[in-house]
Structure 1
Amino acid sequence: MRIYRIDHVAQLVPDLDGQVSLLRNVFGFRPTSHWDNPEQGVKGVRLAVPGSWGQDWVVLSPSGGSSPLQSTLDEQKGRPGFHHVGAEVPDLDAVRAELDKRGLAYVDSGHGWIEASLTPPEHGPGVRFRLRGTGSLALAGDENAEPVAFSEAAGPAVGIVTMDHICQAYPDREALAQWYADLAGFLPIWKTPIDELPDMADLVLNIPGSSVCWEIIMPRGEDSFIDRFLAKNGTSVHHVTFQVADWEAARAALAQHGIEPFDDEEGVTDGAAWKHTFVHPKQTGGVLVQLFWEEKPGVWVRSDKIPVDA
């Protein structure tokens, strides 16, 4: 099987309008379509992420009396959070065959997409993917989505210029990178030197056809924050990272919306500065968000990484 393009990141929330308002006003995402499909138990809004042509953000909420999304929210005690990564594949039958061969369970929607965790099953449920073949653009009950009229954001947004990567926590970065390369054609490109950081090491993969990359972080040493994350959440999405155009303007916008980021870090690579910080899931609708700025393209990536084959 091959994944040739990430289509969107989706989150599940109990308050659809409130979450869309937050994403529009704080992060500058632009709503482009909306739908309500009680037959499939879902309503949602698709939002364009600045600078990320073709890789959107989708917000989902339950609709109707017997929505499977409501069951998911009930299991999460009503807490919002990450739901799935939507992706395109050239051949959905080939995906089914590969998942069957590897013993990976999946749900066939009957609407032109299937849902499955693509993480090795011995480490838990992993990251939920929705995989769409040809013949339909729908991935979330949005067959009859309608366009959203443009409206100005309320207040300054942080000035995102692109969605950079999706990060997954996993016990062994090399093993998962090889798994994704063999399973879905992801291409390993960068990794942190194994002894560079005391509590973690990471590895970044390219996804053919997507500007969005995939990062794997694994724990190192004693009492790594990744160990704690894995114990609580399993091998799921840890965070999603966005680049901002102007660091001070981004921080000022967060402050105006009452948001205080954490774990600031900065440095200089080849004479060019870079900075990054995190926004807590409680202030984003359930997804940990990382923001970074770099004075020169590529310096933030190179600040602690080397080519995989080096």
Structure 2
Amino acid sequence: MTTFAPHHIALSVGDLDRSKAFYGYFGFRPVAEWSKSDKSLTISHLRQDDGFVLELFHYADDGARPRPAFTVGNNLPEIGVKHVGFTVPDLAATRAEIIEAGIGEVTEIARGRTLVDYFFVIDPDGMYVEVVHDARDLDPERPLLLTDAPR
């Protein structure tokens, strides 16, 4: 059976340089870029050391568009991709580092319904990037089944 591993996620961005700097904080470095001859579209690949790629699409006319109005939860009931998440060993220390670096607005640390601790940092286009610490001992042979029912 084929084994699948994460390769990339694609985002459309309004300001390519600002987005490269923002995602550079998360360890993404430019490795490839393609531009249409009239500069109406640029596609930039940024990669982390583990090989995971962030593919940024920048259409020249995107810079003139208003910033989308995303919120925490990011319209979760609607079908579609909502955010990208990165795991860290120390959530509080990472949150403090991000605040000190001033790379974007940061939410408070919270515990999710699936028992993962997290916070969000907002990228230059208003998209939410989740930073998590997952201390659960998960086993596919014994899935963790949770509910909102009182105990």
Does structure 1 residue 279 correspond to structure 2 residue 124?
A: no
Q: Percent identity?
A: 24
* Structure with a larger share of its residues in strand: 1
Matches within 5 A, 1:8-157: 8-24=8-24, 26-38=25-37, 41-51=40-50, 53=51, 55-62=52-59, 70=61, 73=62, 77-79=65-67
Structure 2 letter corresponding to 1:293:
H
| Greater helix fraction, Structure 1 or Structure 2 | 1
8 Å contact from structure 2 (residues 12, 56) kept in 1 = yes
**TM value normalised by structure 2:** 0.65
Counterpart CA distance in 1 for 2:5 and 2:129 is: 22
Work out the CA distance in 1 between the residues paired with 2:5 and 2:26: 23
TM-score by length of 1: 0.36
Asked if the contact 1:13/1:79 (under 8 Å) is kept, the reply is: no
Q: Secondary structure at the match of 1:20?
A: helix
Does 1:250 find its partner at 2:85?
no
Cα offsets for 1:160-186 (capped at 9, x unmatched): xxxxxxxxxxxxxxxxxxxxxxxxxxx
Q: Structure 1 unaligned segments of length 5 or more: list them.
A: 64-69, 82-224, 268-272
Residue of structure 1 equivalent to 2:83 = 239
Over aligned residues, Cα RMSD in angstroms? 4.0
C-alpha distance in 1, partners of 2:91/2:125? 22
State the structure with more CA Rg: 1
Distance 2:49 2:8 in 1: 13
- Cα distance in 2, alignment partners of residues 262 and 300 from structure 1: 26
Matched residues in 2 for 1:43 and 1:27: separation?
21
Q: 1:20 to 1:14 in 2, by over 3 A?
A: same
Which of the numbers 94, 103, 107 marks the counterpart of 1:262?
Answer: 107
Q: Which runs of 5+ in 2 are unaligned?
A: 147-151
Please report how far the alpha carbon of residue 261 of structure 1 lies from its aligned counterpart in structure 2 after TM superposition: 2.3
